[in-house]
Chain A
Amino acid sequence: MSVAYTAIGWNRQKRLYDAAVVGGVLLFVGLFFAIGKFAGRGPEVERVHDDAMLLIRALGTCGLVLLHIVLWIGPLARLDPRLLPLLYNRRHLGVLTFLIGLAHAAITLVQYHGFGNVNPLVSLFTSNTNFTSLAEFPFELLGLAALVILFLMAATSHDFWLAVLSPRVWKWLHMSVYAAYALLVMHVVLGVLQQDRSPLLPLLLIAGVAITAGLHIAAGLREHARDTRGDALLDGLIDAGPTGEIALNRARVVCTSSAERIAVFKHTANGKACISAVANVCAHQQGPLGEGKVIDGCITCPWHGYQYHPADGCAPPPFTEKISTYRVTLRGGRVLIDPKACPPGTPIAPAEVPDAG
């Protein structure tokens, strides 16, 4: 089996997005450098070191701030669907975070390990082996470990790797961003915070960690409650509520007792409103189909625009993705869903909504 590689599909929106983000990074680094330079004027002999150190700190701070933003996007989009557009092109932010971290590491390596008679990389691993002391811990190795994780994530951020590695393996690899985050927090705590006596840095770091943890816990608890609640059953069928409460070309998401989510869409077929039910998980990158809408007769995933026919869960040709479908019954004006999934691509006739009155 082979997976064809296709390059990044650049479009105007992506170019504008990347230009805005890169511009923001340059502005941040420039301001940090300028403010640091004019706030800490010193004698001539120290200014060379100050410039390199300022640039190291500017890049390091920028990278950590960007990583915080990347981590906040996921739970924010879960907590408030209006923030879903933030998910788009999040991978671009991730790759940029890695590149900023790489620049920070490269300048640090040259500045602090490049002027001796030992290979800089050897010096990085051997100059400080004081693992038993917190105040003198070789914190640079924590940063290096985080950089390796970010590199692996950046290198596999393209959809090609999602197909090669399988979505499950790819997702678990990209979950290691949390390990990278913890390593970077400790890299800062055991690094710059050991010398810097300003209370501002620890406060900002603690605030960042608190917000990141708080958002994830809030989103996780909400999703966990949603999954374990399950939706009401009527004669073994899931009650998705009155047909009138599902907006046209939109979905209501219901949950089975085994925490599988089903997207129940109201759409039109042959000029009549009808109801179809499909798996809530997009076959592309597991996006939440129920948060999308029906466009040109196809369920459209809100993450990357993958489409499926509501009647059989198949992607329109030439695409071949398929999702599971579910049997739908209308009884007493309510939508009832058989929680037993049909194999992906199984045609299920949409349930026609009776005309009102």
Chain B
Amino acid sequence: MIRPQRRMHAWLWPLIAVALAVGIAAGLAARRGSFVQPAAATSGANP
């Protein structure tokens, strides 16, 4: 029956919207370099 899917949008889509908002915000913040890990120093290499 389509009934479950019809009502499901009322609670499912707020969840999807919040998840995507968080994902988009994190992704956009990452492109400014906030989440880029600094390159690890190689062991034994001369400074």
B35 to chain A: which residues have CB within 8 Å?
133-135
User: Which of A182, A193, A221 is close to B19, meaning CB atoms less than 8 Å apart?
Assistant: A182
In the bound complex, how far is the Cα of B33 from the Cα of A186, in angstroms?
17
Give the secondary structure class of A's interface.
Answer: helix
A220 and B24 form a contact (CB under 8 A): no
**Residue numbers in A under 8 Å from B5 (CB-CB):** 171, 175
Shortest Cβ gap from A249 to chain B (Å)? 24
The residues of A that contact B37 with a CB separation of less than 8 Å are 132-133
Interface residues on chain B, number (Cβ under 8 Å): 30
Give complex CA distance A55, B26 in Å: 28
Q: Are A135 and B31 interface neighbours, CB within 8 A?
A: yes
List chain A residues, Cβ under 8 A from B11.
220
In contact, B24 and A134 (Cβ under 8 angstroms): no
Task: Write the chain A residue with the least CB distance to B29.
Answer: A134
* Complex interface: chain B residues within 8 A of A205 (CB): 24
B1-31: CB near A (< 8 Å → 1, else 0) gives 1110111111111101101110110111111
Chain A residues with a Cβ closer than 8 Å to the other chain, count? 38
A135 in contact with B36 (CB, 8 Å)? yes
Q: Which residue of A lies closest to B14 (CB)?
A: A217
Q: Are B1 and A220 in contact (CB under 8 A)?
A: no
Separation in Å of the B35 CB from the closest CB of chain A? 4
Bitwise interface map of A from 277 to 297 toward B, beta carbon under 8 Å scored 1, else 0: 000010000100000000000
Interface set of B (CB-CB < 8 Å, partner A): 1-3, 5-14, 16-17, 19-21, 23-24, 26-31, 33, 35-37
22 A-B contacts (beta carbon < 8 Å):
A133-B30, A133-B37, A134-B30, A135-B30, A135-B35, A168-B1, A171-B5, A178-B16, A182-B16, A185-B24, A190-B27, A194-B30, A194-B31, A202-B28, A205-B24, A206-B24, A209-B20, A213-B16, A216-B12, A217-B9, A220-B13, A227-B6
